[in-house]
Amino acid sequence: MINQETTRKLHEMRLTSMIEALSSQEHNENIRQMSFEDRLELLVDIAYNTRQNNKLERLIKDAGFSTTAPSISNIDYQPDRQLNQDVINKLATGAYIKAHHNVLIMGASGNGKTWLATALGIAACRQFYKVRYVRLPELLDDLLVAKNEVNGDFKKILVKYGKYDLLIIDEWLLTPVSQEQATFILELMERRAGQRATIFCSQFGPMAWHEKLGQSQIADAILDRIVHTAYHIEIDGKKSMRERYGIGGQL
């Protein structure tokens, strides 16, 4: 049995899981008969897995998802939805994040854009990428407050959103934006283009974004930084998610 001083040191190193595993080993005769190396290997495995699980929980919590129910495994590929399973499975590997490519998820309201984006986001968290989910109106509000308040730090907010390995922007250009807001978007896209991956959830395809962004030169610059390296997913379907599955269903 480990003494109090060793227990204290393990606590100080935040290895509580190893303390618990040691205690469990002491009460298991089969494990006590194992060699020191084998017992140590078990302890290290438990401590490592606990740390990885805790890290995953933090990443999912910090991502700010509105729900954690979606997953790649429960996507419903009904024919009328016209979802390409090969493309989605490829995205689930996270290769697009490593390559700093974007994903455009388009479809009518209620067709499951947020669900699919969240499923991809959680898959990215499981690969230990830093992910952030945000609605475009909330993102623009954050930037506007930072720009106009005396103690606001516009650059700090830009850096924060610019650094996420995967940024999921929901309600993308649902309504037209002002020239100032379009400038904010351009600043952020400039930071992320070719450096990070972004998922955009929109009811409209890129052809309609130009009008929503207003000023033509800014709109051209924004689209140039988003569209050319993007996967395009358009979710079709005669029924909305609510009609298909109820509030808590699947994609």
Band (152; pLDDT cuts 50, 70, 90) = low
Per the structure, the count of domains in the chain is 2
Q: What is the pLDDT of residue 233?
A: 96
Domain boundary among 17, 35, 61: 61
- Total length of the chain: 251
Domain span holding position 93: 77-243
Task: List pLDDT tens digits, range 40-74.
Answer: 888 888 888 888 999 999 999 999 999 999 999 99
Q: Tell me, yes or no, whether 66 lies in a domain.
A: no
Do 54 and 82 share a structural domain? no
**Do residues 43 and 28 lie in contact, with contact meaning Cβ atoms separated by under 8 Å?**
no
115 plus 225 within the same structural domain: yes
**pLDDT, tens only, 94-108:** 999 999 999 999 999
Q: pLDDT of 116-150, one tens digit each? A: 999 999 999 999 999 999 999 999 999 998 888 76
* Distance from C-alpha of 88 to C-alpha of 91, rounded to nearest angstrom: 5
Q: Is residue 33, in this structure, part of any structural domain at all?
A: yes
114 and 200 co-located in one domain: yes
User: Domain for residue 69, yes or no?
Assistant: no
Mean pLDDT, the chain, integer: 89
Residue 19 lies in a domain: yes
Query: Is it the case that residue 25 has pLDDT exceeding 90?
Result: no
Please say if the pLDDT value at position 14 is more than 80: no
Q: Are residues 19 and 136 in the same domain?
A: no
Mark whether 86 and 10 lie in a shared domain: no
Q: CA-to-CA distance for 159 and 28, rounded, in angstroms?
A: 51
Looking at residue 246, what is its pLDDT?
55
Clarify whether residues 133 and 204 are in a common domain.
yes
* pLDDT class of 245 with cuts at 50, 70, 90: low
141 and 225 co-located in one domain: yes
pLDDT at 248: 45
Whether residue 20 sits in one domain with residue 139: no
Is 70 a domain residue? no
3-state SS, one letter per residue, for 166-215: EEEEECCCCCCCCHHHHHHHHHHHHHHCCCCEEEEEECCCHHHHHHHHCC
Please state the pTM of the whole predicted model.
0.84
> Mind listing the pLDDT tens digit for each residue in 36-47?
888 888 888 888
Mean pLDDT across the stretch 11-26?
78
Q: Is the pLDDT of residue 195 over 90?
A: yes
- Dist CA 200 CA 120 (whole Å): 12
CATH code of the domain in which 138 resides: 3.40.50.300
pLDDT digits (tens, 9 = 90+) for 158-191: 999 999 999 999 999 999 999 999 999 999 999 9
Domain shared by 49 and 116, yes or no:
no
Higher pLDDT, 213 or 80: 213
Task: Specify whether 187 is located in the same domain as 99.
Answer: yes
Based on the fold, state whether residues 54 and 132 are members of the same structural domain.
no
